[in-house]
Structure 1
Amino acid sequence: MQRIILFGDSITAGATHGYPTSVYTDKLAQALAPREIDLMNRGVLGDNTQGGLARLHSDVVDHDPDLVVIFFGTNDVQVPKMTLQQYQNNLEIMLKHIGAQKCILITPGITGPSRQEHRPNEKLQQYALATLETAKEYQVGYVDWFSEAVKHSASEILQDDDLHYAPRAYDLLLEKLAPLVSQKLMDQKVAGA
């Protein structure tokens, strides 16, 4: 059975009203059905790429995944000394330790009006572009989620906190992500056959 790890922050954790839920994991499992997969969610509330690096081995590498979906950035934009370059470096370290061929990167999305002071969409867009640059440099599959999210109103895809995702956001994200995951798993099976 192929193992997928979802690696990221509270958005990966499916945070709803401040608590982790299985919404993202469940929706991905449904999108990939009837394929049997071992799906592990390693989303941590409040995390960023620095924290992700600190737990990279215990939460990801030690579990020998076939595929890792890396989804950070929304918290990185508000970390005091974080730069775009450092964010990119952190992503690169993750790709090198996991193995770029096993990874899919997702760009950060948008935040709503009440979050613009600390997580402005202009800055999130810069982090999204940095994510895409890294994906292209390492020839990694990616979802340009920012470009999709920005087509929708915050009230349509975000919870009342203007930060965490409503179920609609996960549905839109998975329209892009699920086919990528499916293809990657199929390619791995063929290569290993």
Structure 2
Amino acid sequence: MKILEKFRNKQENQFATQPVLAFLGDSVTQGCFEIYSKNGRIEPEYYPEESYSRKLQKILELLYPSVNPIIINAGISGDNATSGLSRVERDILAYKPDLVVVCYGLNDACAGQGGLDGYRESLRGIFRKLNDSGAEVIFMTPNLRINDICYECPDKMIENCALNIAANENEGWLERYIDAARGAAAECGVKVCDCYRIWQRLRDNGVNTNALLSNAVNHPTRELHWMFAYELMRRLLDD
């Protein structure tokens, strides 16, 4: 992708412009992991330094040690594509990024059939705004969520959350939403980094993907953020 031309130019000429990479998404993008209940709400533990954007930054700094790219992490816990569309100018375009990675679906899919069209249209809106800005765009599909309908937890609020999401997952809503996202990306000429398909292959080959969720619901472990980062790097190397 063209973003790597900026890395090469900066590596060869320290006075060249720094590459700017921005990330728009939900709690996984933000860097949320374990969860706990407090005052009647479920709250996440925040470790943005463990997020896939930081891990991609580490890979890029290993490959281009003198470039020091600018990373904008605009992930927000609980966010969805409709909200992302409403804030894309403020949180992304204001920084004039060269590349934007968008990742939505985990929260959106909880709305089932009633939210599917809105999700698709919101992604189209995000992609069009980013395309119009001149930035390169990647849509990264997310991880799988819990599918264990027998999940038990001492914290009943977390248990109920997990069971509701497991039911939604087993009804196939996330897969339908990701299919819609792939279609929207194709319509808008946006490249896809299909990590969801990798998670599906893991499960199909006997991996307990529930054990790869740090909050037992929908947040991948810190180690699995490396997979996102490596797959994004592979996508950047594509023409």
Who is 2:105 aligned against?
73
Cα distance, 1:133–1:28 mapped onto 2, change above 3 Å: same
Who is 1:87 aligned against?
119
118, 122, 128: which one aligns with 2:172: 122
Deviations 1:33-90 (A, max 9, x none): 2432111101000000111122111101111111100001100011378532221110
Quote the Cα distance in structure 2 between the aligned partners of 1:81 and 1:13: 26
Deviations 1:171-191 (A, max 9, x none): 2222321122355xxx7xxxx
Q: How many residues align?
A: 184
Matched to 2:122, the amino acid is N
Quote the Cα distance in structure 2 between the aligned partners of 1:41 and 1:19: 16
Quote the Cα distance in structure 2 between the aligned partners of 1:43 and 1:116: 23
The TM-score with structure 2 as length reference comes to 0.70
Structure 1: 5+ residue stretches without partners:
188-193
Who is 1:191 aligned against?
none
Quote the Cα distance in structure 2 between the aligned partners of 1:176 and 1:78: 26
Matched to 2:234, the amino acid is P
Match of 1:70, SS? strand
Alpha carbon RMSD of aligned pairs, Å?
Answer: 2.1
| 1:168 pairs with 2:195 | no
Q: CA deviation at 1:136?
A: 1.7
Q: Which of 40-49 and 105-114 deviates more?
A: 105-114
37, 50, 55: which one aligns with 1:23: 50
Deviations 1:125-155 (A, max 9, x none): 1111111112222221111121111233223
* Residue pair 2:210, 2:216 contacting (<8 A) in 1 also: no
Quote the Cα distance in structure 2 between the aligned partners of 1:82 and 1:64: 34
Quote the Cα distance in structure 2 between the aligned partners of 1:149 and 1:173: 11
Who is 1:136 aligned against?
186
Matched to 1:23, the amino acid is E
Who is 1:110 aligned against?
144
Structure 2: 5+ residue stretches without partners:
1-17, 35-43, 149-161, 203-207
Match of 1:126, SS? helix
Q: CA deviation at 1:157?
A: 2.3
21, 24, 27: which one aligns with 1:7: 24
Matched to 1:147, the amino acid is R
Match of 2:73, SS? strand
Match of 1:74, SS? coil
Cα distance, 1:107–1:82 mapped onto 2, change above 3 Å: farther
28, 47, 52: which one aligns with 2:79: 47
* Residue pair 1:32, 1:182 contacting (<8 A) in 2 also: no
Quote the Cα distance in structure 2 between the aligned partners of 1:20 and 1:73: 20
Matched to 1:163, the amino acid is N
Cα distance, 1:70–1:122 mapped onto 2, change above 3 Å: same
Q: Which has the larger radius of gyration?
A: 2
Q: CA deviation at 1:119?
A: 4.3
* Residue pair 1:111, 1:121 contacting (<8 A) in 2 also: no
